Amino acid sequence: MKHALLALMLLASPALAHDKMAGDLQIIHPMIPQPASSAKSAAGYVTISNEGETPEALIGIRTPFAQSSTLHTTIHEDGIAKMRPLAELVIEPGDTVNLEPNGMHLMFMGLTGAAQEGDMISATLIFRNAGEVAVEFMVDPAAGADHSTMDHGSLDRSTMDHSGH
């Protein structure tokens, strides 16, 4: 039943067309917020469900989009957010993990090219048991880029301090 529902969802939305089943793993909406054209790094996000009966672990990622790619988590110490590398991300049977902003995420460092909204970035997720799984990360709009509903007409810029830029 879960597989039939997933198939229906995939047909209903082109944005979900890059979701993937790999054995007992369901890989949902791998995405990269569009990085600035001058960016040297970018974050990647994905949801992974383990529908199997044994634990699985994400142990690596590689992509031609970056010179190096690592798994990170964000920790908060004394009110300051800091990124720390993770050696692996364990996904227990029946669990779903979300790699998302301000939490666990993928870091792509030393970008090898530009990425525009709508682009698909090839990558390989590496799991302890499932092995290598080819995925496509969709480049989504940059975080905070949708200002379509914001009223910019009444914004008083004279009170803003931009001297630190």
DSSP string, 81-144: EEEEE-S-EEE-TT-EEEE-TTSSEEEEEEE-S---TT-EEEEEEEETTTEEEEEEEEEEPPTT
Find the mean pLDDT for residues 10-35: 79
Find the mean pLDDT for residues 49-76: 96
Name 63's Cβ contacts closer than 8 Å, sequence gap at least 6: 69, 108, 121, 122, 123, 124, 137
pLDDT tier, 144 (very low <50, low <70, confident <90, very high otherwise): low
Q: For the domain made up of 2-141, give the CATH fold.
A: Immunoglobulin-like (2.60.40)
Q: What percent of the chain has pLDDT over 70?
A: 76
pLDDT of residue 121 exceeding 60: yes
Q: In a 10 Å sphere around its CB, with 0-12 CB exposed, 13-18 middle and 19+ buried, how is residue 90 labelled?
A: middle
Give, in degrees to the nearest 5, the angle at Cα 112 between 108 and 115: 75
Query: In this structure, are residues 34 and 79 in contact, taking their beta carbons and an 8 Å threshold?
Result: no
pLDDT digits (tens, 9 = 90+) for 64-94: 999 999 999 999 889 898 999 999 999 999 9
Q: What is the DSSP letter of 34?
A: P
Query: In this structure, are residues 29 and 18 in contact, taking their beta carbons and an 8 Å threshold?
Result: yes
C-alpha span between 95 and 34 (Å, rounded):
29
The mean of the pLDDT values for the chain is 83
pLDDT digits (tens, 9 = 90+) for 89-105: 999 999 999 999 999 99
Find the mean pLDDT for residues 131-155: 67
C-alpha span between 111 and 66 (Å, rounded):
4
Task: Of 109, 96, 11, give the one whose Cα is nearest residue 62.
Answer: 109
